[in-house]
C-alpha cells in the first residue's frame, strides 16, 4: 500500500504493476487516465451506472458545494479541466484525497489496482432506522477498482459486492461507529464503488465470478480492505 499524495510536492504516481495508467493529483482531484476505454460499473454521480470510460476522477468538493445538481456541477468541472465529457466518470467526496491509498496485485489472468479515499463523519450501519434525505450528498468512502483482464458483467457486479463487504470489514476492525447509533458502522451514508475493466485481449480466460472464493474476487476484497483501512486509519493525520 502507498499514499503518494500525502507528500504535497508529489503530483503523479507511477504504478509499478500497471505503468500505462496515468495517475495524477491536481486542482483538488485525483485523475486516473487510460489510453483505452474500460467497461465500467459504478454508482458515481457523474456518468455512473453501466458505461465506458478512460478518465476517472475523484473530486474533493469545495465548502461552497451545491448538492442540488451534482451531475451539472461535475460536468462544469470536467469541462474546466479539459476532460472528455463522453469518457470521463466522476466521483465526489468531502474527505482528504491527499490520503488516497493505492494497492496493486497481479494474479490469475489479471492485474489489479485499487485506490480508496475515506472519511467517516457520516458513518452508518445499514439496516437501521435513521433520518433520511432526498438530496444528494457527496461520497465519503470512494473506492475505484481497475482490472486489466476480462470479466463478464455479472462478475463485475459480483466484484462490487466483494468490495462492499471488504469495506465493511475494515470499518468493523477499526471499530468505526454509526454516527447516530452505538453500533459498528458498515460504511457511510454516501459511499461510491467503481470497477473498470480493460477487457484486454492479452488475457484469454474470462472471469465469470468474483466472490471471496475466486482468485480475482479474493484479491479485490483484500486490496479494498487494505486501502480503506489505511485511508480511514490515517484520515486525521496531516500531509507533509
DSSP assignment string, 173-230: HTTPBPTTSSSB-SEETT-EEEEEE---TT--S-B---STTSHHHHHHHHHHHHHHHH
Q: Average pLDDT, stretch 104-129?
A: 85
pLDDT at 97 over 80: yes
pLDDT in tens, 144-193: 999 999 999 999 999 999 999 999 999 999 999 887 778 899 888 889 99
pLDDT at 134 over 60: no
The three three-digit cell numbers of residue 108, written as one number: 490469475
**CA–CA separation, 213 vs 84, rounded Å?**
38
In a domain, 176, yes or no: yes
In this structure, are residues 139 and 124 in contact, taking their beta carbons and an 8 Å threshold? no
In this structure, are strands 29-42 and 192-197 parallel, antiparallel, or unpaired?
antiparallel
- Of all residues in the chain, the percent with pLDDT exceeding 90 is 75
Per-residue model confidence (pLDDT) at position 113:
99
In a domain, 145, yes or no: yes
Residue span of the structural domain in which 85 resides: 12-234
CATH number, position 200? 3.60.70
The three three-digit cell numbers of residue 11, written as one number: 503530483
**Burial environment of residue 201 by CB neighbours within 10 A (0 to 12, 13 to 18, 19 or more):** exposed
In a domain, 124, yes or no: yes
Q: Mean pLDDT, the chain, as a whole number?
A: 91
pLDDT-derived band of residue 57, with 50, 70 and 90 as boundaries? very high
Report CA torsion sign: 208, 213, 215, 219.
positive
pLDDT-derived band of residue 91, with 50, 70 and 90 as boundaries? very high
In a domain, 4, yes or no: no
pLDDT at 79 over 70: yes
pLDDT in tens, 196-206: 999 999 999 99
CA triplet 110, 87, 90: central angle to 5 degrees?
A: 85
In a domain, 3, yes or no: no
More confident call, 75 vs 240: 75
In a domain, 53, yes or no: yes
pLDDT at 126 over 90: no
Q: What is the domain count for the chain?
A: 1
What H or E segment, with its residue span, contains residue 58? strand 49-60
pTM of the entire predicted model: 0.93
In a domain, 85, yes or no: yes
Per-residue model confidence (pLDDT) at position 63:
67
In a domain, 7, yes or no: no
The three three-digit cell numbers of residue 110, written as one number: 489479471
Amino acid at each position: 500500500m502507498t499514499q503518494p499524495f500525502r507528500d504535497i510536492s508529489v503530483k503523479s504516481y507511477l504504478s509499478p504493476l500497471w505503468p500505462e495508467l496515468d495517475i495524477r493529483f491536481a486542482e483538488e482531484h485525483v485523475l486516473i487516465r487510460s489510453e483505452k476505454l474500460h467497461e465500467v460499473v459504478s454508482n458515481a454521480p457523474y456518468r455512473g451506472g453501466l458505461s465506458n470510460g478512460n478518465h476517472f476522477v475523484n473530486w474533493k468538493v469545495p465548502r461552497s458545494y451545491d448538492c442540488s445538481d451534482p451531475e451539472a456541477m461535475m460536468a462544469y468541472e470536467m469541462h474546466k479541466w479539459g476532460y472528455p465529457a463522453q469518457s470521463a466518470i466522476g466521483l465526489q467526496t468531502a474527505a482528504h484525497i491527499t490520503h488516497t491509498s493505492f494497492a496493486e496485485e497481479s494474479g490469475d489472468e489479471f492485474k489489479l489496482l485499487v485506490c480508496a479515499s475515506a472519511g467517516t463523519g457520516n458513518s452508518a450501519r445499514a439496516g437501521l432506522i435513521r433520518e433520511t434525505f432526498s438530496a444528494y450528498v457527496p461520497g465519503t468512502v470512494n473506492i475505484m477498482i481497475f482490472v486489466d483482464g476480462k470479466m463478464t458483467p455479472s462478475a463485475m457486479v459480483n466484484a462490487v459486492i466483494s468490495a462492499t463487504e471488504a469495506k465493511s470489514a475494515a470499518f468493523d476492525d477499526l471499530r468505526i461507529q454509526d454516527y447516530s447509533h452505538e453500533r459498528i458502522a458498515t460504511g457511510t451514508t454516501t459511499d461510491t464503488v467503481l470497477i473498470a475493466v480493460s477487457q484486454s485481449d492479452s488475457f484469454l480466460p474470462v472471469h465469470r465470478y468474483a466472490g471471496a472464493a475466486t482468485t480475482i474476487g479474493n484479491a479485490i476484497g483484500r486490496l479494498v480492505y487494505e486501502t480503506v483501512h489505511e485511508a480511514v486509519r490515517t484520515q486525521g493525520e496531516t500531509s507533509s
